[in-house]
Structure 1
Amino acid sequence: MKSLAFIVAAFVTRALAHGGVTSYVVDGTPYTGWQPYNSPTGQSTIERPYSSYDPILNVSASTFSCNNNGASGGGQKSATIRAGANVTAKWSQWTHAQGPVMVYMAKCPGSCTSANSNDLSWFKIYERGLLSGNIANGAWGLGEVMKTLLVTSTIPAALAAGEYLIRHELLALHQANTPQFYPECAQLVVTGGGGKTPGDQYLIKFPGYPPLDRQSIYIDIYCFGCGGIITYKVPGPPVWNGQ
C-alpha cells in the first residue's frame, strides 16, 4: 500500500505543474472563482465549475469548451460589466512559459445559466503568442502569465449588450507535439455597447480547432532548426475588436 506521504507528494507534484483560474476582477469588482479542489457544495460563483488543474490533451474532448461538461454550476452567478471595460482573470499558479494565451467570448441565446458551452459560437477578443525571439527561446504570452498570474482583456466597446460566457485558454507547448490546453469560463452580463456582433469569419465552435491550426498546436518548439523560427500563428480566428 502506498504511504500517505507518497500520495501527498504525488498530488503536490501534479498540482504544481499546472494551474487554473480561481478569481476575477470584472470592471473593478473582485469575484471569487471556482475552487476545484474544494467540495462543490455551497460554491456560488461567476465561474463555471471544473474539477482539476490538469490539462486537456485533445481538441475534440467533450470538456474542451469550459473544462467541464458544458453546464453551469448549481450556485451559478453572472457579473455585470460595461462594454469597453476590463476583465482580469487570476490564476492560482502557473509554471509553463512557452505558448499562447487566448480569451474568447460567446453570446448566450438567453440566460447563460441555461446554456451549454458546447453549443455556442465563440469569438476571440484577446491573444498573446510569440512576443519576441524564436519559438524555442523567445518570450511568449504564457511567460507573462507565469510572472504575474494575471490576464487582463477588454470587452469590445462596440459589442452588443446581453449575456455572454468569457473563456480564458492557455495553450502550453513545452512538450513536443503534445499540446496542453487549460480553458476556464465565467458568465458575464454586458451592458451598453454599440450593438455589434462579430461576423462568421470570427466565429468558432468548441470542442475542436480547424485543421489549419494543427501546425500551431502540434509543434515541437525545440526541433532542429527551430531556433531560426521567429513567427507563430496563434490558433483560432482573428481577434474581433468591434470593427
Structure 2
Amino acid sequence: MLQLYFTAVAYLAQLAAAHGGALNYTVGDTWYAGYDPFGPKDQDDAPYIVQRKWITNEPIFETTNASLACNFPGNPARAYIPINAGENITAVYNTWVHTVGPMIAWLTPCANNDCSTFDPAGAEWFKIGQQGLLWGTIEGGGWFQKEFSRWDGSPSLWSERIPETLRAGKYLVRHEIISLHSAHKPQFYPECAHLDVKGSGTGFPTKEFMAKIPGVYSMDQPEINIDVYDPEISTKTEYKIPGPLVWTG
C-alpha cells in the first residue's frame, strides 16, 4: 500500500510538471525500486533502492553538464539489480508526455567492480539499445518516444536487452530520453541504476563503441541543435541518433 501511495504521488507530481523519468525497473516478473524524487527522505538510506539519486524531473539542458551522466546529484544506490547477460531490463516510467526525440540505453562498468564509489562523470559508456523515429516525418511521424507514452494512467515501459556475451560484473545502466520539441533547446532526461550482471561471457565493446558522458553530445551536432519545425527538417523521414553504434555483443 505504501508503494502504491508513493507511485500515485509521483504520477500526479510528474503530470503537473509535464516531465518525468524512470522510477522503477523490472527483470522478468521482479520489480526493483528506483529513487522517487517526490518520495520520502529516508530513501537515501534505504537498502533496497537500486537507482542513483535524482531530485527533480526538470531536464538538463547543457551538453557539458557533469550531471548529464546520472542526473543530479547522482548519489550511489545501496543495492544492485541482479540480471543475467541476455535478459531484458525494463525501465518503468509512471508518466511521459513528450513525443519527439531519441531514447538511448547505455552501460558502463564500475571501477574496481564497485558502483558504490564510482563516479560516472567522464566514464566510457556504450549503447545497448536505442529507439528513434519509427515511421513518417521528423515533426509529425511516429517516434518511439511518442508510442512509449501512456495517457491512460498505466506505466510507460522501455525494455532493452543486456548483450548475451557481455562479461560479468557490476555496471551502471543509464536510460536517457532526449526531447527535441523545443527548437534548438534539447532536453536531456537521464537516470542510472546499479546492475550486477551474471554470466559466462567474456565480451566487451571495442573503442569505437565507447563514448564519454558528458562529451558524446555538443551543440555543433545537427541532431542535437535542431528545430523540428523548420520546413527543411520537419518533412525529412530519417533521423540519425547521435553517438556511437549499439553494441549487441
TM-score normalised according to structure 1 size: 0.89
- Could you report, residue by residue, the CA deviation over 1:100-159 in whole angstroms, capped at 9, with x for unpaired residues? 110000011221111011142100000011111110111112112213611000000010
Which of 56, 59, 75 is 2:60 aligned to?
A: 56
- Quote the residue 1:3 is aligned against: none
The answer to whether the Cα contact below 8 Å between 1:213 and 1:236 also exists between their aligned partners in 2 is: no
User: Is it true that 1:121 corresponds to 2:128 in the alignment?
Assistant: no
Q: How does 1:122-201 map to 2 (within 5 A)?
A: 122-147=125-150, 149-201=156-208
State the Cα RMSD in Å: 1.9
TM-score normalised according to structure 2 size: 0.87
| Cα gap change, 1:12 to 1:192, in 2 (>3 Å) | closer
- Quote the residue 2:107 is aligned against: 105
Identity, in percent, stands at: 37
The answer to whether the Cα contact below 8 Å between 1:57 and 1:181 also exists between their aligned partners in 2 is: yes
Counterpart amino acid of residue 66 in structure 2: S
Counterpart CA distance in 2 for 1:213 and 1:125 is 25
Give the secondary structure class of the aligned counterpart of 1:214: coil
- Could you report, residue by residue, the CA deviation over 1:153-179 in whole angstroms, capped at 9, with x for unpaired residues? 000001000000000000001111110
**Structure 1 residues without counterparts, runs of 5 or longer:** 1-10
Equivalenced residue count is 230
Q: Per-residue deviation at 1:40?
A: 3.1
- Quote the residue 2:215 is aligned against: 208
Q: Per-residue deviation at 1:99?
A: 0.8
Counterpart amino acid of residue 57 in structure 1: F
Give the secondary structure class of the aligned counterpart of 1:226: helix
Counterpart CA distance in 1 for 2:57 and 2:89 is 21
Q: Per-residue deviation at 1:186?
A: 0.2
| Cα gap change, 1:178 to 1:232, in 2 (>3 Å) | same
Counterpart CA distance in 2 for 1:152 and 1:191 is 18
Counterpart CA distance in 2 for 1:161 and 1:225 is 46
| Cα gap change, 1:161 to 1:19, in 2 (>3 Å) | same
